[in-house]
């Protein structure tokens, strides 16, 4: 079960933070998804094998149970991702409003294909299913923020804003 999860070294201090979160829910299997969501935010937006192992150990649940959940839910990634995850909705209401053209614009502006991360580690571009803002289609989520309706022409400004945020940080 674990062979699909990328084996990499997560920073020790990050693992310690994740361990502290998981320890609060020892034996509480029902809190696994919550712990995974929090862990992913701490660890480059991914549940890598070392992260999964820490969670399994601290929550006292089998590693296979952790990996089972990770592989099932779309929000979890086993590969490290960028600081900002761009999730472009490709479900039907966005599709008929031209989502594909917006995806192409993101690919062009970022210089990557869907599923890839920019070399500076800032952006990962993904498509996803309905994000529940069909009244603002076509729509995209960048981390927890929603943009819509957006045109291909607006993509460059959105990306520039995020790049500036990093410089200010």
Q: Is 167 in the site for another protein (CB under 8 A)?
A: no
Q: Is 150 in the site for another protein (CB under 8 A)?
A: no
What x-and-dash track marks residues 82-121 binding another protein by CB under 8 A? Answer: --------xxxx-xxx------------------------
Q: Is 20 in the site for another protein (CB under 8 A)?
A: no
Report the 10 Å Cβ neighbour count for 27.
9
Alpha-carbon distance of 112 to 106, in angstroms, equals 8
The residue from 4, 7, 60, 68 that contacts another protein (CB under 8 A) is: 68
Please state the separation of Cα 145 from the chain's center in Å: 13
* Under 8 Å between Cβ of 110 and 142: no
Between 10 and 127, whose beta carbon lies closer to another protein? Answer: 127
In the 3-class helix/strand/coil scheme, how is 77-93 assigned residue by residue? CCCCCCCEEEEEECCHH
The interface region with another protein, picked from 8-16, 78-86, 132-140, 152-160 by CB under 8 A, is 132-140
**φ/ψ of residue 51, rounded to 5:** -65, -45
Q: Is 133 in the site for another protein (CB under 8 A)?
A: yes
**β-sheet bridge partners, residue 128:** 89
Q: How many residues bind another protein (CB under 8 A)?
A: 38
| Dihedral sign for Cα atoms in the order 45, 130, 119, 167 | negative
**β-sheet bridge partners, residue 88:** 127, 140
Q: Is 135 in the site for another protein (CB under 8 A)?
A: yes
- In whole angstroms, the minimum distance from the beta carbon of 70 to another protein comes to 9
Task: Give the footprint of another protein on this chain (CB under 8 A).
Answer: 28-34, 36-37, 65, 68-69, 72-76, 90-93, 95-97, 128-137, 141, 144-146
């Amino acid at each position: 079960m674990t062979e699909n999860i990328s084996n990499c070294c997560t920073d020790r201090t990050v693992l310690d933070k994740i361990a502290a979160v998981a320890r609060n829910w020892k034996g509480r299997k029902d809190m696994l998804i919550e712990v995974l969501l929090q862990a992913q935010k701490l660890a480059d937006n991914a549940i890598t094998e070392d992260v999964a192992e820490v969670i399994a150990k601290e929550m006292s649940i089998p590693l296979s149970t952790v990996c089972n959940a990770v592989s099932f839910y779309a929000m979890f990634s086993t590969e490290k991702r960028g600081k900002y995850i761009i999730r472009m909705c490709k479900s039907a209401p966005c599709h008929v409003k031209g989502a594909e053209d917006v995806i192409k614009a993101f690919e062009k502006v970022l210089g990557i294909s869907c599923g890839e991360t920019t070399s500076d580690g800032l952006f990962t571009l993904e498509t996803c299913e309905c994000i529940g803002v069909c009244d603002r289609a076509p729509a995209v989520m960048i981390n927890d923020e929603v943009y819509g309706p957006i045109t291909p022409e607006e993509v460059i400004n959105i990306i520039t804003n995020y790049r500036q945020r990093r410089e200010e940080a």
